[in-house]
């Protein structure tokens, strides 16, 4: 009876790049930590519904870069990438890297202080604030999601081109079939596969624009119904959504810095619904984010943000448009004084039912961010008789 063969990957493959790969992975961890500290987009999204999506996207990229480090060490030995190489690198290099470093990096990305992370890693415990508990939960949930899926983000194995002889000899492979996570089905459909709309929409997308965004998505899918044109579909989607996102920024219902991540979430859900292989999804999304359409979208959002800032920074123009409202307020204060009651602007917004002057100040200067409801409430107060106004003010003072 022959001895049973080992199921472990070939350790000699990893040993041949161990020194090079270990040093490269250690440097990668330092590089990622530095990137997190400078990642303004990530910092701005930490307290939003897009936090986990942003962290997951970055963590998947970390694992692809970790694998690239190992491939470079292998290529320096003038050896080509194979399934045996990938299996050995996963077992001896990438899985330990994921277990030892990615959770800590995710906690840093979530905004948890290094002191708190050290306490968590040494089981010292201690008090965690509400924001830290939320950040810790985000990091843990992303880590759990990636635990069973990050391998699928690795790029396909690249093989050197082989020039076939006129009469090639038949080759019979004795290699076992590759794991499901490392390859596709190899099946090519004779008929075009239709593009499907995602079953859900990002919850963080502004509700007032969600319906229009869905219509745009459906229109673009109808223009590109074949999955073989999925990348072109995404390019067109970016172009079509640019105007909608700028409208949201100009109206103040969406911050310019958050708009690209909202669009990225929509593209992500579309690709998940239509890509059978995660490698294909990763590659298409990478091309879209590096496309001319994406760059044009970013520039247009920046212009919209600057236009909004310039409009809000024009006191002379604001004063002209606010003259009528300000005069109405002044006239009401004067009417109250003539009736024997000296009041202030604070009394007006308190009677209108507000706890701070924000909405009143917007109403007074005719700011576009003033809501129709607040205008109605302040107009109703300014139309009160002096007796009714004083009665309501005294009732507030007694509380």
Cβ proximity of 226 and 192 under 8 Å:
yes
The three-point CA angle 398-355-312 to 5° equals: 150
Structure tokens at 303: 């212009």
Instruction: Work out whether the CA dihedral 183, 185, 190, 191 comes out positive or negative.
Output: negative
Position 52 in a domain:
yes
**For residue 348, what pLDDT is reported?**
93
Position 3 in a domain:
no
- Widest Cα–Cα separation across the chain: 112
Condensed to tens digits (0 to 9), the pLDDT of residues 103-132 reads: 889 989 988 888 888 877 776 656 677 777
Cβ proximity of 329 and 382 under 8 Å:
yes
Domain identity same for 296 and 382: no
Position 201 in a domain:
no
Position 26 in a domain:
yes
Structure tokens at 255: 């911050």
For 103-150, give the DSSP string.
HHHHHHHTT--HHHHHHHHTT------HHHHHHHHHHHHHHHHHHTTG
Residue that finishes a domain, picked among 264, 291, 312: 312
Domain identity same for 146 and 45: yes
Domain identity same for 23 and 146: yes
Domain identity same for 111 and 244: no
Domain identity same for 264 and 132: no
Position 176 in a domain:
no
Structure tokens at 242: 């640019």
**For residue 97, what pLDDT is reported?**
92
Selection from 9, 25, 37 nearest residue 63 by Cα: 25
194 pairs with which residues across the strands? Answer: 226
Q: For every one of its 399 residues, what pLDDT tens digit does the chain have, with 9 covering 90 and above?
A: 333 344 688 889 989 999 999 999 999 999 999 999 888 888 888 888 778 888 888 899 999 999 999 999 988 887 888 888 888 888 899 989 998 899 889 989 988 888 888 877 776 656 677 777 888 888 888 888 888 788 887 888 765 444 444 444 444 444 444 444 444 444 444 478 899 998 878 877 888 888 888 999 999 999 998 888 899 999 999 999 998 898 888 888 888 888 899 898 899 889 988 988 878 888 899 999 999 999 999 988 888 888 777 666 555 444 454 478 888 999 999 999 988 988 999 999 999 999 888 889 889 988 888 888 888 999 999 999 999 999 998 888 876
**For residue 51, what pLDDT is reported?**
82
Domain identity same for 36 and 81: yes
Condensed to tens digits (0 to 9), the pLDDT of residues 280-314 reads: 888 899 999 999 999 999 988 888 888 777 666 55
Domain identity same for 356 and 287: no
CA 243 to chain centre: 19
Domain identity same for 46 and 145: yes
Domain identity same for 340 and 245: no
Position 260 in a domain:
yes
Position 328 in a domain:
yes
d(Cα 227, Cα 221) in Å, to the nearest integer? 10
d(Cα 223, Cα 248) in Å, to the nearest integer? 25
Cβ proximity of 360 and 352 under 8 Å:
yes
**For residue 124, what pLDDT is reported?**
60
Position 289 in a domain:
yes
d(Cα 117, Cα 119) in Å, to the nearest integer? 5
Residue that finishes a domain, picked among 137, 159, 181: 159
Cβ count near 71 (within 10 Å): 20
Domain identity same for 21 and 119: yes
Residue that finishes a domain, picked among 124, 159, 194: 159
**For residue 189, what pLDDT is reported?**
43
Domain identity same for 133 and 74: yes
Structural domains of the chain, count? 3
Domain identity same for 275 and 329: no
Looking up tokens 């209108």 gives: 352
**For residue 288, what pLDDT is reported?**
92
Selection from 6, 179, 163, 154 nearest residue 81 by Cα: 154
The angle, 0 to 180 degrees and rounded to 10, between the axes of the packed helices 259-274 and 230-250 is 150
**For residue 166, what pLDDT is reported?**
46
Looking up tokens 């107060």 gives: 381
Selection from 73, 64, 98 nearest residue 279 by Cα: 64
Domain enclosing residue 114, as ranges: 11-159
**The pTM is what?**
0.42
């Amino acid at each position: 009876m022959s001895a049973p063969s080992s199921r472990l990957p070939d350790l000699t493959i990893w040993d041949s790049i161990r020194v090079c790969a270990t040093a490269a992975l250690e440097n990668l961890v330092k590089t990622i930590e530095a990137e997190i500290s400078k990642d303004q987009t990530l910092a701005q999204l930490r307290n939003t519904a897009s936090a986990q999506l942003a962290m997951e996207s970055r963590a998947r990229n970390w694992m692809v870069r970790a694998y690239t480090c190992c491939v470079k060490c292998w290529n320096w030995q003038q050896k080509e990438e194979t399934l045996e190489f990938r299996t050995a690198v996963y077992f001896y290099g990438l899985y330990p890297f994921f277990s030892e470093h990615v959770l800590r990096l995710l906690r840093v990305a979530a905004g948890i202080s290094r002191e708190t992370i050290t306490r968590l890693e040494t089981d010292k415990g201690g008090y965690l604030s509400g924001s830290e508990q939320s950040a810790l939960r985000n990091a843990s949930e992303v880590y759990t999601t990636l635990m069973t899926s990050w391998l699928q983000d690795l790029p396909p194995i690249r093989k050197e081109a082989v020039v076939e002889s006129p009469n090639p000899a038949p080759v019979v492979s004795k290699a076992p079939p590759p794991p499901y996570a490392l390859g596709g089905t190899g099946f090519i459909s004779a008929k075009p596969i239709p593009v499907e709309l995602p079953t859900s929409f990002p919850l963080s997308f502004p509700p007032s624009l969600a319906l229009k965004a869905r219509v745009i998505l459906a229109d673009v899918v109808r223009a590109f119904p074949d999955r073989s044109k999925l990348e072109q579909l995404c390019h067109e989607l970016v172009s079509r959504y640019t105007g909608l996102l700028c409208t949201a920024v100009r109206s103040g219902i969406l911050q310019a810095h958050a708009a690209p991540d909202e669009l990225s979430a929509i593209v992500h859900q579309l690709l998940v619904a239509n890509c059978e292989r995660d490698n294909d999804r990763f590659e298409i999304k990478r091309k879209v984010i590096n496309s001319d359409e994406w760059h044009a979208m970013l520039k247009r959002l920046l212009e919209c943000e600057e236009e909004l800032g310039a409009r809000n920074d024009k006191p002379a123009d604001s004063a002209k448009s606010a003259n009528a409202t300000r005069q109405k307020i002044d006239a009401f204060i004067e009417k109250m004084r003539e009736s024997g009651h000296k009041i202030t602007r604070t009394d007006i917004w308190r009677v209108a039912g507000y706890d701070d002057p924000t909405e009143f100040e917007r109403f007074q200067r005719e700011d576009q961010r003033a809501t129709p409801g607040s205008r109605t409430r302040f107009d109703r107060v300014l139309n009160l008789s002096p007796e009714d106004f004083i009665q309501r003010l005294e009732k507030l003072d007694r509380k």
